[in-house]
Amino acid sequence: MPTGIRRLSAVCVIAGVGLSGVTIAVVARQPANADLAARIARVEQGLLPGIVIAGTPSAPMKMADRMTFYATPGVSVAVINDGAIEWTRGYGVVEAGSATPVTTHTRFQAASISKPVAALGAMLLVAQGRLALDEPVNSRLTSWKVPDNEFTAKQPVTLRQLLSHTAGLTVHGFGGYEAGSPVPALAQVLDGQKPANSAPVRVDGLPGSINRYSGGGFTVAQQLLVDTSGKPFPSLLSELVLVPLGMTDSTYEQPLPAPLAGQAASGHRRDGKPIAGRYHTYPELAAAGLWTTPTDLATFVIELQRALAGTSRAIPTATAREMTTVQKDNYGLGLSLPGTGTAARFGHGGSNEGFRCEMVGFLAGGKGAVVMTNGDRGGALAAEILRSIAREYGWAAYRPQEKRVVPLDRATLAALQGRYEVAPGHVFTVRLVGQKLFVFDRDERGELLPESPTRFFDPVDENTLEFVKEGDAVSHVLINGSLRCKRIGPA
């Protein structure tokens, strides 16, 4: 058991109703005292939605029921309190139809939570003087270089920019590779050459001028660390981060080695069916390739908190402070930095094929949590769990929003109908059904509730949609205030 975890006694199994009426096993360490057991039970039975409608009762929800609702067969949780892991639990099974329970040692794909762990590895090389945050990365890259163009001529790409998503680089994220399919080398990913299934990673904006999330940028950082160290990325990150921090159930090895596969969760689609071959392989290790557990990620959070307090033996205080300093738009170096005052925190979410997860640690007070799931709809479930934890532990964040629904006439709703483009090949439709407005995205349908004649929200997925008009007609919709989706035709 890693240092800092409060010792809890032997394993117990609790049952609840699960997917398709089967039982969900809850595997956990038995709390050493009744007060902690009661606290855990309140979290498990008190999941909260992100949005509550003013004037409408909102009863707390049970973990097992919400796992069924979101077609997510497995969940693992670690809760940090007073600077230590207070409790950990696994819920459900590693794969739908399986009897193998999720335990606290079950590995999940961390997806984009790979980024902060990789960023720490890069920052430790900076602390050792082997890399510099503000020098051009092309001066250190040897096996591949960021292609020069009119943007890099004005401002070369730096490591600081890579880790803060300000390098002007393309490729938001990666889809991974199905079991049995060819997996590209890193240089092929960076250049978008087959068998890579993603576009080339290129600078198409002035480095340092904007914040734009780029998994491609972290893939460049991966190549930089490999070229600088002369070591394979999994070995380097094990040496720099995983072993020193005691993250004993974590690895960047992709594909996952056979001896570890038996302790890994399978990913699941939105309908709850397992992904073919159990999970995808991600050669983009720094961006999406970490296999880990909530316990190990909570250990990572705690060590950063200790470093900020000047008590870590593994992370220099200056490194932690640099990582948690906002670079642009509430993002530091590998970490999202939302909130102010007592709600100020660091963390990251993750979304790989079949996996969704969330990690959060508060900058002060020694609080935080990690939730990992093995379902494509597990992100909303993880958010509900975090809100339950937040209420139980008195966090100054993750509180449900209260929204008021305004009545609108049918003509006003009908004018918003149309087909909207998220990205090439990804189009959703807004359509009036009876007296209600719905969004249809592939095989999913969600009701849109009006806050105003142009602003709507989805109470389940918690997205906001702002319809923007040019003249009398809608030209585009803004999702969550930033994602601009052009109207391309009628519904």
Per-residue pLDDT reduced to its tens digit, 245-299: 999 999 999 999 999 998 999 999 999 999 999 999 999 999 999 999 999 999 9
**Per-residue pLDDT at 463:** 87
**Residue 14 clears pLDDT 50, i.e. is over it:** no
**Per-residue pLDDT at 2:** 30
Calpha distance 78→369 (Å, rounded) = 6
Please compute the mean of the pLDDT values over residues 385-396 and round it to a whole number.
Answer: 97
**Per-residue pLDDT at 1:** 26
**Per-residue pLDDT at 31:** 59
**Per-residue pLDDT at 12:** 31
Please compute the mean of the pLDDT values over residues 305-312 and round it to a whole number.
Answer: 98
Percent of the chain with pLDDT over 90: 85
pLDDT-based confidence at residue 482 (cuts at 50, 70, 90): confident
Lowest average pLDDT, out of 32-36, 318-322, 373-377, goes to 32-36
**Per-residue pLDDT at 296:** 98
Please compute the mean of the pLDDT values over residues 435-451 and round it to a whole number.
Answer: 90
pLDDT digit string, tens, across residues 130-183: 999 999 999 999 999 999 999 999 999 999 999 999 999 999 999 999 999 999
Please compute the mean of the pLDDT values over residues 350-371 and round it to a whole number.
Answer: 97
**Per-residue pLDDT at 418:** 96
**Residue 469 clears pLDDT 70, i.e. is over it:** yes
- The per-residue pLDDT of the chain, averaged, comes to 92
Please compute the mean of the pLDDT values over residues 447-462 and round it to a whole number.
Answer: 92
**Per-residue pLDDT at 32:** 63
pTM, two decimal places: 0.87
Per residue, what are the HEC states of the chain?
CCCCECCCCCEEEEEEECHHHCEEEEEEECCCCHHHHHHHHHHHCCECCCEEECCCCCCCECHHHHHHHCCCCEEEEEEEECCEEEEEEEEEECCCCCCCECCCCCEEECHHHHHHHHHHHHHHHHHCCCCCCCCEHHHCCCCCCCCCCHHHHHCCCEHHHHHHCCCCECCCCCCCECCCCCCCCHHHHHHCCCCCCCCCCCECCCCCCCCCCCHHHHHHHHHHHHHHHCCCHHHHHHHHHHHHHCCCCCECCCCCCHHHHCCECCCECCCCCECCCCCCECCCHHHHCCEECHHHHHHHHHHHHHHHCCCCCCCCHHHHHHHCCCCECCECCCCECCCCHHHCEEEEEEEECCEEEEEEEECCCCCEEEEEECCCCHHHHHHHHHHHHHHHHCCCCCCCEEECCCCCCHHHHHCCCEEEEEECCEEEEEEEECCEEEEEECCEEEEEEECCCCEEECCCCCCEEEEEEECCEEEEEEECCCEEEEEEECC
**Per-residue pLDDT at 21:** 34
Please compute the mean of the pLDDT values over residues 88-102 and round it to a whole number.
Answer: 97
Question: Cα Rg for the chain, rounded, in angstroms?
Answer: 23
pLDDT-based confidence at residue 451 (cuts at 50, 70, 90): very high
Please compute the mean of the pLDDT values over residues 106-111 and round it to a whole number.
Answer: 98
**Per-residue pLDDT at 22:** 35
**Residue 27 clears pLDDT 80, i.e. is over it:** no
Calpha distance 209→353 (Å, rounded) = 31
**Per-residue pLDDT at 267:** 98
Domains of the chain: 109-348 (3.40.710.10), 410-489 (2.40.128)
CB contact burial 227-252 (16+ within 10 A = b; e otherwise)? ebbeeebbebbbebbbeebbbebbbb
**Per-residue pLDDT at 424:** 74
Percent of the chain with pLDDT over 70: 93
pLDDT-based confidence at residue 442 (cuts at 50, 70, 90): confident
Calpha distance 224→169 (Å, rounded) = 15
pLDDT digit string, tens, across residues 62-79: 999 999 999 999 999 999
pLDDT digit string, tens, across residues 417-441: 999 998 777 899 999 999 999 999 8
